[in-house]
Amino acid sequence: MKQRIRMANWTALAAMVLAQTALAQKEQWLDYHVDREGRGYRYLDLTTNPPPNVKLPKLIARPYFAHWTTPMDPAGRWLCLDRTRKSGLYDRVYFDTSGDGRLDDKTPVTTAHSDQYSAFFEPVRLRFKGEDGPITYHLIFRFMQYGAGDANLLVSSGGYYAGKVDLGGKKRRVELIDENVNGTFNDQAADMSDSDCVSVDGDKMERHYLGKLLEVDGQFYQIEVARDGAFLKLQKAEHVVLGRVRVPETISEFVAFGENGHFVRKPVKGEFSLPVGSYRIQDWQIQRKDDRGATWELSAYNFNDSAQFEVSDAKPVTLEVGEPMRAVLEAQEPTPRPGSRAPTTKQLVFNLRFQGHYGETLQIMKGNQRPRGPQLTLTSLDGKYRYTNTFEFG
């Protein structure tokens, strides 16, 4: 009799788990949209060497070539930049939209608009082979050239998925963004720049980089995104184990990214919590007001690999972020551009940057503007020469 009761209980429990799993696995479908402004960005390496075994169209100028890689096509896709005139900006793109390894049968994409240094192209529509049929995707190219031999190609994702989904019992508009511009929408990586994004209408965070969890309005959700972006799955995450993080009390905002996802925290007396797991510091901010009431902000970005940390429920982790900051002054001779004349007098370029504990770059703002740059004074040992100049940002 006892054995039967145990089996019945296990059967009921299994049924409950299956029912919950089925509910958790509900697919919420989204619609595909095209945005001419582009979302996310990625630079492609340019070369003047023609790709092997790729048939080319008749070209006017000496072309540039680039190879766009994507998990949706193991061979990737080649493109060719040409121009309608023998000089000036490159204003035509031939792209292997079908993935057949040919450019000679493709219609060139022309520029939407241009300025002195950049050509902005119309969205390029391409196709991938999917399990249920062809998949449409769009890329947007921007060609930039500021001098002879100084050419760059920036590519953005021209397509995104969006729609209203059930999030905690409420219908919220959600967008999936191919942030790393590789043709898929579900990338999760240790580096935020290699991860894709989701945005939720009405949420205080503009974009959430993908991880295991999505935090909206203080609630954690388990999230799963289809590779092609056509749908996502969401379920409230129950019993999330949290650990404490301690930072200096001067820190007003802290941003972390890791296996669990993307989190923004406003520490209270130098402390906040995160789901247990591995993270990397992405940003921190300090805000203060001077004696005239003006708001000053010190923020940090571009951390080195030492900015990784572990959150445990056993004991708090303490992070050395914030002040003091270190000023790094560098001096170097400028490198002349190819074909230009060497300067007749010796020149030095001075660089000043502010650096934090983890090698992060620091930025100072007064209100919504950069304050006046610090000054550099050079004086000879005998005092006969004295020169003062102000550093410029950028």
pLDDT digits (tens, 9 = 90+) for 165-223: 999 899 999 999 999 999 999 999 988 989 999 999 999 898 999 999 999 999 999 99
Cis amide bond preceding 316, omega within 30: no
264-273 pLDDT per residue, tens: 999 999 999 9
If you write DSSP's letter for every residue of 297-308 in order, what string do you get?
EEEEE---GGGE
- Average pLDDT (87-116) is 93
> What pLDDT does 368 receive?
84
Q: What is the DSSP letter of 192?
A: G
The amino acid at 383: G
> What pLDDT does 347 receive?
75
* CA–CA gap between residue 81 and residue 109 (Å, rounded): 10
Nearest Cα to Cα of residue 161 among 232, 236, 233, 261: 232
Joined tokens for residue 8: 């019945």
> What pLDDT does 219 receive?
95
375 vs 109, higher pLDDT: 109
> What pLDDT does 17 receive?
40
b/e per residue 3-27 (b: at least 16 CB within 10 A): eeeeeeeeeeeeeeeeeeeeeeeee
The answer on pLDDT for 230 being more than 70 is: yes
> What pLDDT does 354 receive?
81
Strand partners, 351: 330
Q: Tell me how many degrees the CA angle 156-370-115 measures, rounded to the nearest 5.
A: 40
- Average pLDDT (312-321) is 96
Work out the mean pLDDT of the chain and round it to a whole number.
88
pLDDT band at 332; cut points 50, 70, 90: confident
Joined tokens for residue 247: 């930072």
- Average pLDDT (70-88) is 92
* CA–CA gap between residue 108 and residue 124 (Å, rounded): 10
